[in-house]
């Protein structure tokens, strides 16, 4: 399959998360998909990118394009199991962006935000703050590869903490796994051991 041309989107614009428009860049879509295809030789990133590009319209949001890439990969899972892994990686990246757009990057930031909006107790937030360096360092986002796509989606839809008003997700699946662990633990070391054992 040949790489799609940028000419088809030359006059189109997409809206970034902050609402600002930018010219549609086909190559950016191709690169975003290709980055998640490492170790998946049977997966064709251009196939996903081409389908995503076919859904492009003037004023589309970058989140819509990301979701279309994820859905396309997920639909191809029956044809080639590697697409499930690709969908998982694309979805994990989508969640990372959702948090990054809120300036949430670490376990301690998740806990601080969760406490501010009333989702965790002061004691639990204090435990994370007191052990922030160890808990922040314990997160291993590569463990998202342990999920199948539909398992990761279930965690996202049912278990991740969200802001009560906007419903915006404020933790990743790995933050969730460590939150469960430190909720059961008496020390940071014990929490990290529980977290490691869960994978």
- Each residue's pLDDT tens digit, 62-120: 899 999 999 999 999 999 999 999 999 999 999 999 999 999 999 999 999 999 999 99
pLDDT of residue 40: 96
Beta bridge partners, 162, equal 169
Percent share of the chain, pLDDT over 70: 94
Asked whether the predicted pLDDT for residue 179 surpasses 60, the reply is yes
pLDDT of residue 55: 85
- Residues 74 and 149: beta-carbon distance below 8 Å: yes
Q: Return mean pLDDT, the chain.
A: 91
Asked whether the predicted pLDDT for residue 4 surpasses 50, the reply is no
pLDDT of residue 10: 53
Q: Name the phi and psi angles at 33, rounded to 5.
A: -70, -45
Q: What is the pLDDT of residues 8-42, one digit of tens each?
A: 455 678 888 777 888 878 888 889 999 999 999 99
Say how far apart CA 143 and CA 75 lie, in whole Å.
23
Average confidence (pLDDT) over 159-173: 96
Q: How many CB atoms lie within 10 A of CB 20?
A: 9
pLDDT of residue 17: 74
Would you state the structure tokens that stand for residue 154, as one six-digit string?
């279930």
Q: Which residues contact 53 (CB under 8 A, 6 or more apart)?
A: 4, 8, 9, 26, 29
Task: Give CA separation, 96 vs 46, 59, 63, 100, 190, in Å.
Answer: 23, 23, 12, 6, 26
Say how far apart CA 147 and CA 89 lie, in whole Å.
9
Say how far apart CA 56 and CA 97 lie, in whole Å.
20
Average confidence (pLDDT) over 129-157: 96
Asked whether the predicted pLDDT for residue 1 surpasses 80, the reply is no
Asked whether the predicted pLDDT for residue 59 surpasses 90, the reply is no
């Amino acid at each position: 399959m040949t790489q799609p041309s940028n000419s088809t989107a030359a006059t189109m614009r997409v809206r970034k998360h902050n609402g600002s428009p930018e010219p549609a860049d086909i190559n950016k879509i191709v690169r975003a998909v290709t980055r998640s295809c490492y170790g998946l030789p049977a997966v064709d990133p251009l196939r996903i990118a081409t389908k995503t590009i076919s859904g492009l319209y003037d004023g589309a949001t970058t989140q819509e394009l990301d979701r279309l890439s994820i859905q396309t990969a997920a639909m191809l899972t029956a044809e080639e199991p590697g697409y499930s892994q690709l969908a998982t990686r694309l979805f994990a990246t989508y969640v990372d962006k959702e948090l990054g757009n809120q300036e949430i990057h670490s376990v301690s930031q998740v806990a601080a935000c969760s406490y501010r909006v009333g989702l965790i107790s002061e004691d639990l937030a204090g435990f994370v703050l007191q052990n922030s360096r160890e808990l922040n360092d314990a997160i291993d986002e590569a463990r998202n590869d342990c999920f199948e796509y539909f398992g990761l989606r279930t965690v996202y839809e049912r278990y991740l903490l969200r802001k009560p008003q906007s419903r915006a997700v404020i933790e990743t699946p790995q933050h969730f796994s460590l939150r469960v662990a430190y909720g059961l633990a008496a020390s940071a070391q014990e929490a990290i051991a529980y977290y490691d054992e869960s994978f």
